[in-house]
A and B are shown apart, each in its own frame.
Chain A
Amino acid sequence: MLKGSALHKSYGNQGAVLKGVDVEIAPGTITALLGSNGCGKSTLLRALALIEPIDSGTVTIDGTAYDASVDAGKGVPSPWPTVTVVFQQLFLWPHLRVRDNIALPQSQRDDPMAAGRFEELVQIFKLEELVDRYPNELSLGQRQRVALARAVAVRPTYLLLDEVTSALDVEQVTSLLAYLKTLRGEGLGILLITHLIGFARESADRVLFMSAGRVTEEGDASILSAPRTRELARFLAVLDPSEPVPNGVPAVCAS
């Protein structure tokens, strides 16, 4: 289980971004994290991945507790790549070809199946024609696929995805959805930040909705059809105005 407890984070001029967030990601599940821009989703993701020290709180990975307010690089055992991340900006290493972007992390692990895994991922993410190119020679959608392949190549237990569908076309989103379900079947715990409600509805076992630094609503995918809070209702109405807005909140308010 990947668990964040009482996570607090403030930025100097922005005030509190995380206000005591508690979250759990179970292995073999997909959790969708929704919320407006600036509500703290990406900060929460980085906090759970232990790459951004926060003010206070604890992150527990499969029973090992990490003080999230200190640099996890000094922690033993290392939380990575048990937990790994695909960043919104991807951060593929620009001096390495696609092949090496995927193979470099693999080479750090004693994985006799690494070569086979590489070939498998190249096929899954349709990278056959791209492996000898540099990241700046790829489109955004292609780079997103490479970043996903790089993250999955190290066989994480928990995979945190920050808006990885933003530049994918419908076909690619569909195939990503299928692949995420495969990974879930292999026991991976996935946290997915997305603005695609349909994608969340199709893929997520659990949905978390964040507003102003707090998880204000959570449940299974049915909360996307029947939100209990006004915040989520408004959020859904903005993303999809055709959705009915319950509790008497007119859609026009949301926009």
Chain B
Amino acid sequence: MRETLDILWTYRQEFRAGLLVTLQLCAYIWTIGIVGGTLLGVAAASWRRSIGTVSRAASYVLSGVPVLVLLFWLHYPLQMTFDFDLPPFYTAVAALSIINVIAVSEAVRRALEDFPRQFLSAARVCGIGPRQTVLRVQLPLVFRQVLPPVLFAQIATLQATLFASLISVDEVFRIAQRINSQVYRPVQIYSALAVLFLAVCLPMHAAATFLKARYTRDYSER
């Protein structure tokens, strides 16, 4: 453990730079995924036959495509075919954002489609207007249903940023590989990497699990 911490301290500048790139990747992917996925999910629930069908089909197809294949396909064949050159960082952002948008949109679509309309009827007959019904009844309930799966999806995309190292993005895993190639201390270096990821992922995972247990409950009460 001490050696692991020593490695982290000795190469703190490099790890910090790599972690910064990883966090930048995440900032893009999370923002695009949450905003784009929410909009797509709402549209898919609103227009089930058109956008909903496309969204479900995209989700089905993507579930059969490994992240790495999508990443490489966007990085090599697509850019060669259409003759353009996208920096690897943005290629990684694009690939992981597609996955994140679809994951978030599916969570939002399901929560909206499964939402018991009777809660809205109960609000209507109590004289609550449409706007207040959405703000005070529908949004809070949908948000509680959506939050845990969305958090789990963000953890998964954070972990998937490691694949960006394979197309030469200098994120934290690539930095760790580079340090290892210089000092050859794989146990300590990859343990240090694990510590970094655990420090970020575990609190997120704990929060998602807590929210899921607390809020994602059976609407039918008991």
Contacts and interface: CB of A to CB of B under 8 A. Distances in A.
Interface of A: 49, 51, 73, 78, 80-81, 83-85, 87, 89-95, 104-105, 108-109, 135-136, 140, 143, 150-151, 154
Contact of B124 (A73, A93, A135): A73
Contact of B116 (A83, A91, A104, A108): A91
A159 to B, nearest CB: 10
Contacts of B219: 94
Contact of B118 (A73, A87, A95, A151): A87
Interface string B205-222: 000000000010101111
Contacts of B140: 95
B194 to A, nearest CB: 38
Nearest to A108: B128
A49 B132 CA distance: 20
25 contacts: A49-B125, A51-B121, A51-B124, A80-B127, A81-B126, A84-B126, A85-B125, A87-B121, A89-B220, A91-B121, A92-B221, A94-B217, A94-B219, A95-B215, A104-B128, A104-B136, A105-B123, A105-B127, A108-B128, A108-B132, A136-B222, A143-B221, A150-B126, A151-B126, A154-B126
A154 B127 contact: yes
Contacts of B87: none
Given A81-B127, A154-B127, A91 B122 contact: yes
Interface of B: 116, 118-119, 121-130, 132, 136-137, 140-141, 144, 215, 217, 219-222
Contacts of B221: 90, 92, 94, 135-136, 143
Contact of A94 (B121, B132, B141): B141
What are the 7 A-B residue pairs with the smallest beta carbon separation, nearest first?
A: A81-B127, A105-B126, A91-B122, A85-B125, A84-B125, A91-B118, A80-B127
Given A94-B141, A95-B140, A104-B136, A109 B127 contact: yes
A140 B221 CA distance: 9
B125 A83 contact: yes
The residue among A83, A92, A95 with the most chain B CB atoms within 10 A of its own CB is A95
- Majority DSSP secondary structure for residues of B touching A: helix
B90 to A, nearest CB: 40
Given A51-B121, A73-B124, A104-B136, A95 B141 contact: yes
Contacts of A151: 125-126
Contacts of A93: 119, 122-123, 137, 141
Nearest to B118: A91
B217 A136 contact: yes
Contacts of A80: 124-127
A73 B127 CA distance: 10
B121 A108 contact: no
A93 B137 CA distance: 7
Given A94-B217, A104-B136, A89 B128 contact: no
Contacts of A104: 126, 128, 136
Contacts of A109: 127
A53 to B, nearest CB: 12
Nearest to B126: A105
A129 to B, nearest CB: 18
A117 to B, nearest CB: 14
A135 B137 CA distance: 14
Contacts of B128: 104-105, 108
A92 B137 CA distance: 10
B144 A95 contact: yes
A190 to B, nearest CB: 14
Contacts of B122: 85, 87, 91-93
A135 B222 CA distance: 9
Contacts of B141: 93-95
A75 to B, nearest CB: 12
Given A84-B127, A93-B137, 14 more contacts: A78-B127, A80-B124, A91-B122, A94-B141, A94-B217, A94-B219, A94-B221, A104-B128, A105-B126, A108-B126, A108-B127, A136-B222, A140-B222, A150-B126
B96 to A, nearest CB: 32
Nearest to A49: B125
A214 B29 CA distance: 59
